[in-house]
Structure 1
Amino acid sequence: MTTDPRKNATEATRKAHAALAARLPLADDTDFARAQRGLLRRTGDVEVLPTEPPETVNPSLWRQARLNALHGLYEVTDGVYQVRGYDLANVTFVRGADGWIVVDPLTAAETAAAALATLREHFADERPVTAVIYTHCHVDHFAGIRGVVTDEQVASGAVRVIGPEGFLEHAVSENVIAGTAMSRRALYMYGLMLPKDARGHVDTGLGRAVAGGTWGLVPPTETVRETGTELLVDGVRMVFQVTPGTEAPAEMNFLLPDHRALCLAENCTAVQHNLYTPRGAEVRDALAWSGYIDEALRVYAPAVDVVFASHHWPRWGEAEIASYLTKQRDAYRYLHDQSMRLANQGLVAAEIAEELELPPGLADEFFLRDYYGTVNHNAKAVYQKYLGWFDANPAHLHPLPQVEAARRYVAYMGGADAVLARAREDFAAGDYRWVAEVVNHVVFADPANAAARALQADTLEQLGYQAESGPWRDFYLTGAQELRQGTPNAPGLRTPLQPDVLRGMPGSMLLDYLAVRLDGPRAARRTLGLALRLSDAGTTHRVELSHGTLHHTRVDEAADAVSLDRATLARLADDPSLLEAALADGSVAASAETADDLRELLKLLVAFDLFFPVIEP
Structure 2
Amino acid sequence: MSHMITTDPLTASPNFFADPHEVAPGVLLFSNFVNNYAVTLDDELVVIDPGFEHLALVFHEAVRHWTQAPLKTVVYTHGHADHAFGAQPFLDRGERPDIIAQENCLARFRRYERTHGWNARINQRQFSLPQPMFPRRFVWPNLTFRHRLVQRVGGCTLECTAARGETDDACYVFIPERRYLFCGDLIIWMSPNCGNPQKVQRYPEEWATALEEMAGLEAEYLFPGHGLVVKGRAAVRTVLLDTAKYLRVLIDQVLERMNRGESPEEIFHAVEPDPELSRRPYLLPNYDHPKFIVRNLLRLWGGWWNGNAADLLPARWEQQAAEIVRLAGGVERIVARARELLAAGETKLAAHLAEWATRAHPESRAAQELKRDVYAQRLAEEPSLMAQGIYRAAMNDARCALGEEPLPGLPSGLGLVRTP
2:157 maps to 1:237: yes
**Match 1:224 to one of 145, 157, 176:** 145
Give, in whole Å, the separation in 2 of the partners of 1:214 and 1:355.
39
In the TM superposition, what is the alpha-carbon distance from 1:436 to its structure 2 partner?
Answer: 0.8
Matched-pair contact (CA < 8 Å) for 2:265–2:307? no
Length-normalised TM-score, structure 2: 0.87
Residues in 1 aligned to 2:266 and 2:301: alpha-carbon distance in whole angstroms: 16
Instruction: String of CA shifts for 1:226-263, please: whole Å, max 9, x gaps.
Output: 33x321124432112211x3111111101111211111
Question: 2:213 is matched with which residue?
Answer: 295
Residue type of the alignment partner of 1:161: I
Q: CA RMSD in A?
A: 2.5
Aligned: 1:253 with 2:172 = yes
- Opposite residue 38 of structure 2, the aligned amino acid is F
Paired residue secondary structure (1:367): coil
Give 3-state SS (helix, strand or coil) of 1:331's partner: helix
- Aligned-pair distance for 1:451? 1.3
Q: 1-side partners of 2:155 and 2:365: how far apart?
A: 66
CA distance in 2, matches of 1:379, 1:475: 18
Kept in 2: contact 1:402–1:444 (CA 8 A)? yes
> How far 1:164 sits from its partner (Å)?
1.5
Provide closer, same or farther for how the CA distance between residues 170 and 215 of structure 1 changes in structure 2, counting only shifts above 3 A. Answer: closer
Paired AA for residue 114 in structure 1: V
2:185 corresponds to 1:266: yes
Q: Counterpart amino acid of 2:27?
A: V
2:38 aligned partner: 93
Structure 2 alignment gaps of length 5 or more: 7-12, 404-420
Q: Which amino acid aligns with 2:224?
A: A
The 3 A distance-change label for structure 1 pair 133 and 153 is: same
What letter corresponds to residue 161 of structure 2 in structure 1?
Answer: Q
**Secondary structure of the residue that 1:363 maps to in structure 2?**
helix
- Following superposition, the deviation at residue 445 of structure 1 comes to 0.9
Summarize the Cα distance change of 1:167–1:348 in structure 2 as closer, same or farther, 3 Å threshold: same
Unaligned runs of 5+ in 1: 1-32, 39-62, 195-209, 489-617
Which protein shows a greater Rg? 1
Residue from 29, 35, 55 that aligns with 1:82: 29
Q: 1:391 to 1:290 in 2, by over 3 A?
A: same
Does residue 113 in structure 1 map to residue 51 in structure 2?
no
Contact 1:353 / 1:380 at 8 angstroms: preserved in 2? yes
Query: Quick one: higher RCO (CA 8 Å, sep 6+), 1 or 2?
Result: 2
Deviations 1:89-130 (A, max 9, x none): 21100013434221111111x412212323443x4x334433
**1:130 and 1:216, CA in 2 relative to 1: closer, same or farther beyond 3 A?**
farther
What displacement does 1:305 show?
0.8
For residues 474-519 of structure 1, give each alpha carbon's deviation from its aligned partner in whole angstroms, at most 9, with x where no partner exists.
211122112111499xxxxxxxxxxxxxxxxxxxxxxxxxxxxxxx
For 1:193, the aligned partner's letter is: P
Kept in 1, the 8 Å contact 2:196–2:386? The answer is no
Structure-1-length-normalised TM-score? 0.60
Conserved 8 A contact 1:76-1:306? no
Do residues 385 (structure 1) and 327 (structure 2) align? no
Amino acid at match of 2:189: A
1:438 alignment partner in structure 2: 353
8 Å contact from structure 1 (residues 90, 311) kept in 2: yes
Distance in 2, matches of 1:223 and 1:95, equals 22
- State the distance in 1 between where 2:69 and 2:401 align: 52
- Measured against aligned partners, the alpha-carbon deviations of 1:64-85 in whole angstroms (never above 9, x if no partner) come to 6xx22x3112333201121112
Structure 1: how far apart are the matches of 2:255 and 2:3?
A: 36
Letter paired with 2:399: R
Q: Is the 8 A contact 2:365 2:402 kept in 1?
A: no
- Name the counterpart of 1:276: 195
User: Would the aligned equivalents of 1:242 and 1:252 in 2 still touch at CA under 8 Å?
Assistant: yes
SS of residue in 1 equivalent to 2:301: helix
Q: 2:395 — aligned with what?
A: 480
Equivalent in the alignment of 1:130: 72
**Contact 1:90/1:106, CA 8 A, preserved across alignment:** yes
Q: Deviations over 1:352-380 (max 9, x none)?
A: 23222222431221222211221111111
2:364 counterpart (436, 442, 449):
449
**Residues 368 and 34 of structure 1: is their aligned pair in 2 closer, same or farther, counting only changes over 3 Å?**
farther
CA distance in 2, matches of 1:290, 1:320: 17
The alpha carbon displacement at 1:213 in A equals 9.4
What corresponds to 1:72 in structure 2?
Answer: 19
